[in-house]
Amino acid sequence: MISKSLRQSLKSIKANPVRTVLTTLGIVIGIATVILVLSAGAGFHNIIDSQLATYGSNTVFIETRVPPTTKSRAASPAASGFNTAFSGVVITSLKQRDLNDIKNLNNIKNDYGIATGSTVVGYRNTEKNVIFYGAGADRFLIDQSTLKSGRFYTESEDRGALQVAILGNGLASDLFGQSDPLGQLIHVGSLNFQVVGVYNPMGSLNGGDDILYIPLITAQKKILGIDYMQLIIAEMNDSKIGNSTAAQITSLLAHNHNISDPDKNDFTVQTQEQALDTFNVIFNGLTILLIAIAAISLIVGGVGIMNIMYVTVTERTAEVGLKKALGARNADILNEFLIESVLVTILGGIIGIALGVVLSFIVYLIATAFGLEWAFKVPLYSIALGVVVSGTIGITFGVLPARSAAKMNPIEALRYE
């Protein structure tokens, strides 16, 4: 009887292809969205993992932070630090003394500071507005990014505020085309800098390929006109005691900045593991939100299926009456309509999975075209989830119309017009 009910359900679905397509549309959109979100999450995680890997697993990030009670402080208009992006407040307390004191901690191997801003960089008749990083020479001991050509600038060049520069791969191509940039002079703002190195492609989340790297003190004294930095990155000897090292740095900076209340700290200290945990919390929250939005589409699709099944039951009332008059049991009628509902939703789920995979691949192509280290991944659990969810919706929203059909009085059903 199950086999017969299955054949009857397939016959009914084939008899109304347009209705079937429209019925499954909500399911298709919902399942495709779930697949796309989970696949995009896996791809984006690959970017984060690959970018953080350039620093190694034993790094600590010390970044300026705007305390709740802090008022705006005057700062150089050229400086556009990490802490000014949303608040317009510039924290100026992270200085060379902090950098030196952090390096003297037992578990710290190397550290460097960063001061950043934007300026016009040019070579001959070609100019480009770029973000530059003034970074200490220890950067090249911590960061695992490699050079395409040339060399890194040295600590003596940093201390002497020399005008040397390392170009991102994209910036080098824009300014020099196929020519060799090494040894050439470029203008950074109103100053001339000698190009000593060119990075390999690095991806957008690690500074990008249109970035300029110059010595920290050069950036502070000659371009920004400041004596502070926005970020310090430190390398630990032993990452297993990363939390205690972060606590040491926090206590040290609070003492240096004369802060007694932790809520008023004008800095944050995070190990790479803590930073990744923070990212995961935020990203998982966004993923849940997007899946919840997709779930609305699935519910709407389920309601649509239930309505169509009620219409189908009404259209086939006389048929139900005839079958019951010939000996069909209530369970047989229930199975027939329930199987039809499940088939429709599973069909929608399969189409939704296929559409989600195609959209995920399109996102992958677009991301890689922009130079992102995106991975095309469709987690198997997302496909399993799509099948299970579509089947569950078919049963949940199909059972009421099926029960309605099963409970029909055969005499009244036969008389229905």
Note the pTM of the prediction, 2 decimals. Answer: 0.65
- At 333-353, the pLDDT tens digits run 777 777 777 888 888 888 888
Higher pLDDT, 132 or 146: 132
- On the question of pLDDT at 112 being above 90, the answer is yes
Within 13 Å and on the Cβ side, how many CA atoms surround 239? 13
Higher pLDDT, 413 or 268: 268
What dihedral do alpha carbons 251, 255, 261, 264 form, nearest 10°? -100
For 265-323, the DSSP string reads -SEEEEEHHHHHHHHHHHHHHHHHHHHHHHHHHHHHHHHHHHHHHHHHHHHTHHHHHHH
Categorize the per-residue pLDDT at 77 as very low, low, confident or very high, splitting at 50, 70 and 90.
very low
Q: Please report the pLDDT score of residue 314 as a whole number.
A: 76
- On the question of pLDDT at 70 being above 90, the answer is no
- At 377-398, the pLDDT tens digits run 888 887 887 778 877 887 787 7
* CA separation for the pair 8, 333 (Å, rounded): 11
Query: Residue ranges per domain, the chain?
Result: 2-51+277-414, 66-265
Higher pLDDT, 411 or 227: 227
Helix crossing, 272-315 with 380-406: angle to 10°? 30
* CA separation for the pair 172, 167 (Å, rounded): 6
Reduced DSSP (H G I as helix, E B as strand, rest coil) percent helix, strand, coil of the chain, to 5: 55, 15, 25
* CA separation for the pair 183, 197 (Å, rounded): 9
Quick one: what percent of the chain has pLDDT higher than 70? 86
